[in-house]
């Protein structure tokens, strides 16, 4: 019973600090215990009778660090779909999410796909525009539809573009992942190919994701490239 009461008091204290105090604390420099913080002095001393003012300050810095780290690992997930334009659902469509992601990129765009079609050229115009702004673009693609790949490279004739094709000798393996990562922070993982049917016509489901785990998508393909599963074609 004692532990339950203690945990309850600690939880109440932490919630109040996180709402009222921690956002105003800079963990990179010293800060003064102003009136707002001193309001909780009695609660601190009830739970920790021997804490000095300096120790309260250090404890608050520690709580600030823990709070910031937990927020870094938060993820936001949003369901996305193709082929539902005539349905009254709170779900965004694939093509709109892709365009938003590419348009908002500030320094890096990463894409993987199984199949592309001539419809992808509409997105290629946006990619070329982002390339002229200095955004680095990497595209990993399955080794098929060679004619479409050639058209893509001709259309995206920009210096900071790298295109890689899958190079696995096993005929039973293929690059089937369809992903877009922007600035290592946001990602779109989908069942849709980079084609009209995939982005507009078919029933496809995907997820828009924000969070620290997003960068692991890029790391997977970097490791595959290092092991020789992809080769540059431009």
Q: Which residues are registered as beta bridge partners of 6? A: none
163 with 141: CB under 8 angstroms? Answer: yes
Among the options 176, 212, 219, 225, which is catalytic? 176
For the segment 93-134, what is each residue's pLDDT rounded down to a tens digit?
999 999 999 999 999 999 998 877 777 777 888 998 999 999
Q: Is 29 a catalytic residue?
A: no
Q: Which of 145, 151, 155, 183 is catalytic?
A: 183
| DSSP code, position 30 | -
Token pair in block for residue 135? 């955004």
Helix orientation angle between 2-20 and 53-72, rounded to the nearest 10 degrees:
80
- Please indicate whether residue 178 is annotated as part of the active site: yes
pLDDT-based confidence at residue 17 (cuts at 50, 70, 90) = confident
Retrieve residue 40's tokens. Answer: 């909780």
The more confident residue out of 223 and 63 is 223
Question: CA Rg, the chain, in Å?
Answer: 25
- In this prediction, residue 72 has a pLDDT band, given cuts at 50, 70 and 90, of low
45 is an active site residue: no
CA 145 to CA 86: how far, in whole Å? Answer: 31
Mean pLDDT, residues 207-233 taken together? 92
Q: What is the CATH number of domain 76-232?
A: 3.30.870.10
- Rounded to two decimals, what is the model's pTM? 0.69
User: Between 186 and 145, whose confidence is greater?
Assistant: 186
């Amino acid at each position: 019973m004692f532990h339950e009461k203690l945990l309850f008091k600690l939880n109440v204290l932490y919630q109040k600090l996180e709402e009222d105090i921690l956002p105003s604390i800079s963990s990179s420099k010293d800060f003064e215990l102003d009136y707002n913080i001193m309001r909780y002095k009695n609660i601190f001393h009830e739970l920790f009778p021997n804490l000095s003012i300096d120790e309260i300050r250090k404890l608050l810095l520690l709580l600030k660090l823990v709070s910031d780290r937990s927020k870094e690992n938060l993820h936001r997930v949003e369901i996305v779909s193709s082929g539902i334009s005539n349905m009254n659902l709170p779900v965004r469509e694939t093509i709109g999410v892709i365009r938003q992601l590419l348009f908002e990129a500030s320094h890096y765009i990463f894409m993987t796909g199984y199949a592309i079609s001539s419809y992808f050229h509409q997105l290629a115009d946006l990619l070329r525009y982002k390339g002229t702004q200095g955004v680095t673009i990497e595209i990993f693609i399955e080794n098929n539809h060679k004619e479409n790949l050639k058209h893509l490279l001709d259309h995206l004739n920009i210096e900071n573009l790298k295109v890689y094709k899958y190079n696995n000798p096993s005929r039973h393996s293929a690059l089937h992942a369809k992903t877009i990562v922007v600035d290592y922070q946001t990602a779109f993982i989908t069942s849709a190919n980079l084609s009209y049917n995939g982005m507009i016509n078919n029933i496809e489901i995907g997820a828009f994701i924000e969070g620290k785990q997003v960068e692991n998508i890029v790391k997977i393909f970097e490791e595959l490239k290092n092991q020789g599963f992809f080769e540059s074609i431009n």
